[in-house]
Chain A
């Protein structure tokens, strides 16, 4: 583009080199005013200034994206998450904000991130634990304190029995899971404190289907209530056993050797997750713990802890009978 080819006296012979400085804001006020006056009458200089501005923009975009001349990153910058969360250093933030001015894909990414962030914040406001949980926690920590005191009082024999149980059942990994061994101790304690007490059940019925229905209502889980009549134990009823597991149900039976507790822990609860897989735990094991006989086993649906004040050798056939007759 030359003044000659465009014709007319309104065109400079050559564009003013100070136009670049004008564009970059580098001219002193007096020089800027002079050049702006000239631009009003010189179409060539106006064309030159527009061309310089276009080149400047293009170069800035290129510098910001470092990806060439298109407006899209190959993949959005993961620092966009940090930008949204206010986790970027000022220098990085400025760099990313400059980039956002020219990259539509990163802008879209940022909008999407913000949408999800807002959505999750709204969701968080709706998440409240049930009022019962706090009460359960109070009870749990209270019982845990009680348990730790009892452990202090218990002779080493109790601990040795627990270790022996773990070794015998091949569940040595439980030794690193204090809650699991505590769970067995809790089951024994519940038997001694509640099953042998004056009110062993909260739902009294000898009808196994009625007890199963009650347990299902309490827990939302299906339970199979074992029938021990063939081995001399009649069903007294059931109670919830939340200190062993939130959805644990203790079934209480009575026979010639006294009362028996069969605590069922349905699969799915974290306490269940600490049990081994059914394949590794399908055999029934019996041992003595805290002066009681204790048998444990599991199937695909539940883990079972049976406790009675009989020798383990006497408890084992009962446990095997239940395990063999479970669906």
Chain B
């Protein structure tokens, strides 16, 4: 009995601990705070360990783990009514406004040099669907199909969320930069 329990723990650690950093990255993007991210990761590993019997070994451990993490996060958000959708997407008029440059100008160059903390803080202000898509694809480097499986949505939805999420993040970062320059 004891031996099988140890084997289970070892198997769990072998499959799941390699994805600790990925889990942390997603948690950090979702919660926006280091400590909350670590709390969320710890809860995720506890839950994953409890449900490890239902995991088919040597399949997609990362997707399985991150699905659990996301579910815990969303359940927590729902129960606590913690964070409403703070920022609406730009309206149709704003979205239709033409962009007047097509080469990386000074603003884009500046965007690339923003500190990670600012980027993460701004990312955390996006609506959940966009934040999740950006975290899975851009932070975690997932393919659309894998992200879609975790998010429980079609691949095309991942694509459109990414598209709008990136543009929204760019807009917010430009605002941050403008405010910084003005202050």
Contacts and interface: CB of A to CB of B under 8 A. Distances in A.
A120 B99 contact: no
Contacts of A199: none
Nearest to A87: B144
Given A111-B102, A117-B138, A123-B139, A133 B42 contact: yes
A2 interface: no
B151 interface: no
A124 B140 contact: yes
B162 A85 contact: yes
Interface in B85-124: 95-96, 98-104, 108, 111-112, 114, 116, 119-120, 123
A129 B38 contact: yes
Which of the listed residues A108, A124, A148, A276 has the most CB atoms from chain B within 10 Å of its own CB?
A124
A142 B81 CA distance: 32
Given A107-B102, A115-B170, A81 B159 contact: yes
Contacts of A78: 159-160, 163-164
B77 A141 contact: no
B12 A141 contact: yes
A82 B163 CA distance: 8
Interface residues of B, number: 74
B139 A124 contact: yes
B182 interface: no
Given A148-B5, A270-B36, A270-B72, A123 B116 contact: yes
B120 A123 contact: yes
Interface in A261-304: 268-277
Contacts of A138: 13
B143 A87 contact: yes
A112 B82 contact: no
B20 interface: yes
Chain A's interface: helix, strand, loop or mixed, by majority? Answer: helix
A108 B102 contact: yes
Interface string A253-265: 0000000000000
Nearest to B95: A75
A128 B42 CA distance: 14
Contacts of B173: 116, 119
A144 B50 contact: yes
Given A85-B144, A116-B166, A149-B1, A127 B21 contact: yes
Contacts of B102: 104, 107-108, 111
Contacts of B167: 76, 109, 112-113, 116
A133 B36 CA distance: 12
Contacts of A124: 25, 138-141
A40 interface: no
A32 B152 CA distance: 58
B120 to A, nearest CB: 6
Contact of B138 (A104, A121, A178): A121
A23 B159 CA distance: 39
Listed from nearest, the 7 A-B pairs whose CB atoms lie closest are A273-B76, A120-B138, A108-B99, A107-B102, A81-B163, A129-B24, A78-B163
28 contacts: A74-B96, A75-B96, A80-B163, A81-B159, A109-B99, A112-B108, A115-B112, A116-B111, A116-B166, A117-B138, A119-B114, A120-B138, A121-B138, A121-B139, A122-B112, A123-B116, A124-B140, A127-B21, A127-B139, A149-B5, A178-B50, A179-B46, A220-B35, A247-B39, A269-B39, A273-B79, A274-B75, A277-B80
Given A130-B38, A142-B9, 4 more contacts: A78-B160, A105-B98, A111-B103, A133-B38
Interface of B: 1-2, 5-6, 8-9, 12-13, 17, 20-21, 24-25, 28, 34-43, 45-47, 49-50, 72-73, 75-77, 79-82, 95-96, 98-104, 108, 111-112, 114, 116, 119-120, 123, 134, 137-141, 143-144, 155, 159-160, 162-164, 166-167, 169-170, 173
